[in-house]
Amino acid sequence: MNALKKLFGGNTRQFGMIFALVALIVFFEIFTEGRTLTSGNVINLFNGNSYILILAIGMVLVIIAGHIDLSVGSVAAFVGVCVALFIRDWGLPWYVGVLLGLLLGVAIGAWHGFWVAYVGIPAFIVTLSGMLIFRGANQFVGKSNTIPVPTDFQYIGSGYLPEVGPQTGYNNLTVLLGLAAVAYVIYSEIRSRRNAKALGADVPEAWVMVLKLVLICGAILYATYLFATGRPGTSFPIPGLILAVLILIYGFISSKTVIGRHIYAVGGNRHAAELSGVQSKKVNFLVMMNMSILAGLAGMIFVGRSTASGPFDGVGWELDAIAAVFIGGAAVTGGVGTVIGSIIGGLVMAVLNNGLQLLGVGADLTQMIKGLVLLIAVAFDVYNKTAGKRSVIGMLLKNFGRSSEVKADETTQTKEVISRGI
């Protein structure tokens, strides 16, 4: 267990989620008699969930900052229908449509951000209102009709990496992408290890690193193999590619940049952040705005995939995205969460959905199971936290065997401990 912990950087939450994801995949692979890990199914899984995962990226930032966004489904639908109309009625090329869609996301996000950040209305209220407004706007603008989009626009929602270069029996671009990912993972792991060493920080033993790299690279190569050997005409899907780029960008922003730090700071303790010079209003505004931009993007991808915009696009997406974020370890109170965690959380839900479908479980039972999974995942988290907060015993037991731990200061803890028998 300890070795496993080391393998995943000692982050039990993340480790738990990865473990759950792998276990789920193995479970379904066995019980669907190998129908889970086929090229067709994996490609399908990515295609059908990429827009939820894109929403989860924006949502985790919103939730880290201590807010919530209930409007994403409606915003996605509204942007989708507008873009479909722009292209159909104004005859714009697809890329201008996409650009206008993103700008529309900026405008809607500015609207939400203004009320949340500068007027100080709780995001729950603002976005609940946005949910109604933009759902209505979608049906008003589209007159509750389906509006088809041309095939070149559909590429962003249902396209694949093209076949180029020599005939290898694999999709060359997909293979290159996979190899690049492997190279990057190895390079960054070695570099961070070297840096840590140079600074005199603790580094895990070499075998841990090698094992970790072998596992990660193995997973990437296997996925590459699945994507590269799909039926003719399919390969790594374009929405998946967009998603991967977004994960890289937002993962980087949230963990490595000044604005990322500020988002965590505002969510963790707004007053302390403000007194450290963080402009919390600006942070809140940007976070809300970013969410609507990503919602617009997700809406367009969905329209591309389903070849038309409809009046009920995006219903319930906000809940899927929020569930993904909380399964991925974010805290309702803000300040905690990661982009990659939310993606894993989203994948857990996606695999569950897909596997249950393959097993022929009905939509009714699937929903019940998903609901329970959400509850159990968060309960596990809360249990872990209360064990740490409520009693020193629980906390120390959790870290049993790590005696180098500094004992928490007694006086600081007293107050949280007792609710005085009320």
Partner 1 sequence: MTSLNTHSDPVILEMRSITKEFPGVKALADVNLRVKAGEIHAICGENGAGKSTLMKVLSGVYPYGTYTGDIVYQNEVQQFKDIRASEHAGIVIIHQELALIPELSITENIFLGNEPTKRGVIDWAEARTRTTELLARVGLREDPDTPIKEIGVGKQQLVEIAKSLNKSVKLLILDEPTAALNESDSQHLLDLMLGLKGRGITSIIISHKLNEIEQIADEITIIRDGKSIETLNVKEDGVDEDRIIKGMVGRTLESRFPDHEPKIGEVLFEVKDWNVGHPQIQDRLVCKNSSFFVRRGEIVGFAGLMGAGRTELARSVFGRSYGRFISGHIYKEGKELQLRSVKQAIDAGLGYVTEDRKSLGLNLLDDIKATTVSANLRKISKHFVVDANKEYSVAEEYRKSLRTKTPSVEEGVAKLSGGNQQKVVLAKWMFTDPDVLILDEPTRGIDVGAKYEIYGIIQRLANQGKAVIVISSELPELLGLSDRIYTIFEGAITGVLNKDEASQESLMKLMTSSRKTASPSGDHPELAELPGNKD
Binding site for partner 1 (CB under 8 A): 195, 198-202, 256-262, 264-265, 268-269, 271-279, 335-336, 392-393, 396-397, 400-415, 417-422
If the CB atoms of residues 219 and 272 are measured against partner 1, the closer one turns out to be 272
If the CB atoms of residues 310 and 335 are measured against partner 1, the closer one turns out to be 335
CA-wise closest residue to 377 among 354, 343, 345: 345
DSSP assignment string, 142-194: TTT--EE--HHHHHHHH-BPPP-SS--SS-HHHHHHHHHHHHHHHHHHHHHHH
Rounded to whole angstroms, what are the CA distances from 366 to 41, 345, 387? 18, 16, 31
- The alpha carbon of residue 1 and the mean position of all alpha carbons in its chain are separated, in whole angstroms, by 27
Place of tokens 């067709």: 40
- Sequence-distant (≥ 6) Cβ neighbours of residue 391 within 8 angstroms: 417
Could you tell me if 286 and 113 are in contact, meaning their C-beta atoms sit under 8 angstroms apart? yes
If the CB atoms of residues 33 and 409 are measured against partner 1, the closer one turns out to be 409
Instruction: Provide, rounded to whole angstroms, the least separation between the CB of residue 392 and partner 1.
Output: 6
If the CB atoms of residues 33 and 400 are measured against partner 1, the closer one turns out to be 400
What CA–CA distance (Å, rounded) separates 109 from 292?
Answer: 5
User: Two tokens at 279?
Assistant: 């402009």
Instruction: Provide, rounded to whole angstroms, the least separation between the CB of residue 257 and partner 1.
Output: 5
If the CB atoms of residues 1 and 422 are measured against partner 1, the closer one turns out to be 422
Residue 308 belongs to what H/E stretch?
Answer: strand 308-309
Instruction: Provide, rounded to whole angstroms, the least separation between the CB of residue 203 and partner 1.
Output: 13
Instruction: Provide, rounded to whole angstroms, the least separation between the CB of residue 120 and partner 1.
Output: 13
What CA–CA distance (Å, rounded) separates 321 from 69?
Answer: 10
Residue 309 belongs to what H/E stretch?
Answer: strand 308-309
What CA–CA distance (Å, rounded) separates 103 from 196?
Answer: 42
Instruction: Provide, rounded to whole angstroms, the least separation between the CB of residue 105 and partner 1.
Output: 22
Instruction: Provide, rounded to whole angstroms, the least separation between the CB of residue 336 and partner 1.
Output: 6
Instruction: Provide, rounded to whole angstroms, the least separation between the CB of residue 275 and partner 1.
Output: 6
User: Two tokens at 381?
Assistant: 């988290």
Place of tokens 């109309």: 85
CA-wise closest residue to 285 among 277, 293, 276: 293
If the CB atoms of residues 276 and 386 are measured against partner 1, the closer one turns out to be 276
If the CB atoms of residues 360 and 421 are measured against partner 1, the closer one turns out to be 421
Instruction: Provide, rounded to whole angstroms, the least separation between the CB of residue 276 and partner 1.
Output: 4
If the CB atoms of residues 143 and 420 are measured against partner 1, the closer one turns out to be 420
